[in-house]
A and B are shown apart, each in its own frame.
Chain A
């Protein structure tokens, strides 16, 4: 009942120590909220996407973007209205609809959202789940908490895949003589699809609980690990690289 976010590859991000990768992920997420120029934020996000594209390929990068596109659209459409002060950008009569500050704020929010999404998905796209578990435990996360994190990240692609399977099923159920659908009809069609996805997801919960317990989760023995991080021999170097990357970005782009 799960789908992996991992995309097989052999780029440098795959060889980067998962423990350092987690540090880099956290530092980059913090960096996106530091006082940096909008251009700097934009270029940093572009850099993350370029690294992701080089390592995981166009299909993965495109897939991630499409999955956040609806939320991004809402963000860009509605957040500019929240900032009322500043130089007017669009006015209707005497009423200012959007200000320059509002538009810039929306762009900043969108860049942060895209950046955080890509940083997190790249961790899961370039590291197998067992190694993420070990890396999280290295950072002192208890086993069950690490398991919850990793299971949550397998649930997202599982739900996405269920959605695409159910959408395929709808395509096959279209009547042969059906008229061309308008946008309202398309939106209406989303409701049963989302309902089915919800049903599939809810149904999988007792099965997941059953499987975890039948596979011994909860036993009193000390749990061992099949995987190890021994093959990553440059932990210190990768830590230094992680900190250096974020420090350099901060020094170059600070406002």
Chain B
């Protein structure tokens, strides 16, 4: 069987913008995948998985500067001799963060863009686009803009592009993230039916999809290692820290405050600005409650309204009707802003200052009752708790570190309630559970939004789900 992808002795380190040089992400990394093979490459977060995908796609170090040595051959072609656009039918890349790949203003145009690059006829494009829109449940969203899609819908658009193009190598970075169980199964079926060479990069092992792969590899100490599956998984669990006991188990809550956040008879309506062909999104909440120190999970299909509901709870949006109260007292949006901490899925929208120290002290410095020494003490404590270096620059920190910083900022705000939106999407289970434990330490109630049933199962507590536009307690 011919080789689809061969990597020999790859070394790569990102260009450093500081005095000290960056550590190489890979050292003499080698990998060989045969045509038609389906390979799962497990890598803990922040170990260069996405970088490796971008290198194989031919866009790194071109657009993400760094020093690279070694050789990569894709279907017999030396990758250093071709441009990314020449690889359009050779390799299709689905990013971990779908938003970064969108270039057009509607879903249909997004799928059409690479087909137009191939010079396909309009009739053929129409046929392919209609097929993949139907296959990925996007037929009603053809005119919608990316900004109006949920995370899962964005991921499905990228997978629809992949299917419409049908490249020889499917390069999928965390493809199951953001997808609800129905679409995860659909992805598995699509990969199996397609018969294409597939490299899935993942930072979590999903046992449900074990039979999908011919081989499971591990990125360990900057190299790819092939071990028997059981050993691979055991080593991977150690690397991720997931073999440690959950910090939520037997946790002692310091502050025994008793407060309840509740919502009743809520109605949410959201109109899509870019299309009139779909009815407005609607959701109702008959009853919801979250108490101090409580851990509650919220699950639901892609686009079911989890984020819309969260925005109401923290006062970013106003409900069409209904009441949100704390201890029975109706809350204004401004009061909710200051009582319910909402950790966005994307931490970059919530951190904005040059150093970790400034970021952590930003809110505290605006409180006149706190002295400088008190602020420094609190900031230092939070930095230790979340393993942060006060002198670090957030924009150059790794994603898990930025996520930890985002959590530390909210920890210092000491809100009675927190909403954690897809906290686990780019963290190991252990890291995510540790953040939850720290936020809960002082008695805050936590609402965790997740797609991952395994992660939800690690969080003991009540569970809500959204089905057919209605929030229900399971």
Contact = CB atoms under 8 A, between A and B. Distances in A.
Interface of B is mostly: loop
A227 B109 contact: yes
B105 interface: yes
Contact of B103 (A6, A172, A211, A227): A211
A208 B93 CA distance: 14
Given A216-B117, A216-B118, A3 B84 contact: no
A172 B353 contact: no
A4 interface: yes
A246 to B, nearest CB: 28
Given A175-B413, A176-B338, A200 B57 contact: no
A208 B102 CA distance: 8
A214 B209 CA distance: 28
Contacts, number: 200
A219 B83 CA distance: 9
B105 A4 contact: yes
B224 to A, nearest CB: 23
Contacts of A222: 119
Contacts of A173: 350, 362-363, 409-410, 413
A105 interface: no
A203 B351 CA distance: 14
A176 B59 CA distance: 45
Contacts of B337: 171-172, 174
A207 to B, nearest CB: 4
Contacts of A223: 116-117, 119
Given A6-B105, A196-B352, A215 B121 contact: no
B316 A171 contact: yes
Is the interface on chain A under 10, 10 to 19, 20 to 34, or 35 or more residues? 35 or more
A209 B63 contact: yes
Nearest to A198: B352
Contacts of B349: 162, 165-166, 169, 196, 200
Given A4-B274, A172-B314, A175-B366, A219 B88 contact: yes
Contact of B105 (A129, A161, A176, A221): A129
B212 interface: no
B230 interface: no
Contacts of B84: 210, 213-214
A211 to B, nearest CB: 5
Interface string B119-141: 11110011001000000000000
A214 B59 contact: yes
Interface in A3-35: 3-4, 6-10
Nearest to A165: B349
Is the interface on chain B under 10, 10 to 19, 20 to 34, or 35 or more residues? 35 or more
A141 interface: no
Which of B88, B126, B276 has the most chain A CB within a 10 Å cutoff?
Answer: B88
A229 interface: no
A203 B394 CA distance: 13
Interface in A190-241: 192-193, 195-196, 199-200, 203-204, 206-219, 221-228
Contacts of B100: 1, 204, 207, 210-211
B235 interface: no
B114 interface: yes
A55 to B, nearest CB: 13
Contacts of A224: 115-116, 119-122, 125
A221 B117 CA distance: 7
Given A8-B273, A196-B352, A2 B83 contact: no
Given A222-B119, A224-B119, A227-B109, A215 B125 contact: no
B129 A226 contact: yes
Contacts of B125: 224, 226
Contacts of A218: 83, 85
Interface in B202-224: none
Contact of A228 (B115, B122, B338): B122
B272 interface: yes
Contacts of A1: 99-100, 102-103, 146
Contacts of B64: 206, 210
B339 interface: yes
A154 B105 contact: yes
A6 B145 CA distance: 9
B120 A174 contact: no
B112 interface: yes
Contact of B93 (A4, A176, A178, A214): A214
Contacts of A176: 338-339, 413-415
B245 to A, nearest CB: 32
B59 A210 contact: yes
Contacts of A162: 349
Interface in B363-377: 363-364, 366-369
B370 to A, nearest CB: 9
B104 interface: yes
Contacts of A216: 85, 88, 113-114, 116-118
Nearest to B416: A176
A165 B345 CA distance: 12
B313 to A, nearest CB: 11
Interface of B: 54, 57-59, 63-64, 83-88, 93, 99-106, 108-109, 112-122, 125-126, 129, 143, 145-147, 272-277, 314, 316, 337-339, 341-342, 344, 348-353, 362-364, 366-369, 395, 409-410, 413-415
Given A1-B99, A6-B105, A228-B122, 16 more contacts: A1-B100, A4-B147, A128-B109, A151-B103, A169-B350, A169-B352, A171-B316, A174-B366, A175-B364, A178-B366, A192-B353, A214-B85, A215-B117, A217-B117, A221-B118, A226-B129
25 contacts: A3-B147, A9-B276, A169-B352, A173-B350, A175-B363, A175-B364, A177-B369, A196-B352, A199-B348, A206-B63, A208-B103, A209-B59, A209-B63, A214-B87, A214-B93, A216-B113, A216-B118, A219-B86, A219-B88, A221-B118, A222-B119, A223-B119, A226-B115, A226-B125, A227-B112
Leading 3 A-B pairs by shortest Cβ distance: A216-B117, A196-B352, A226-B112
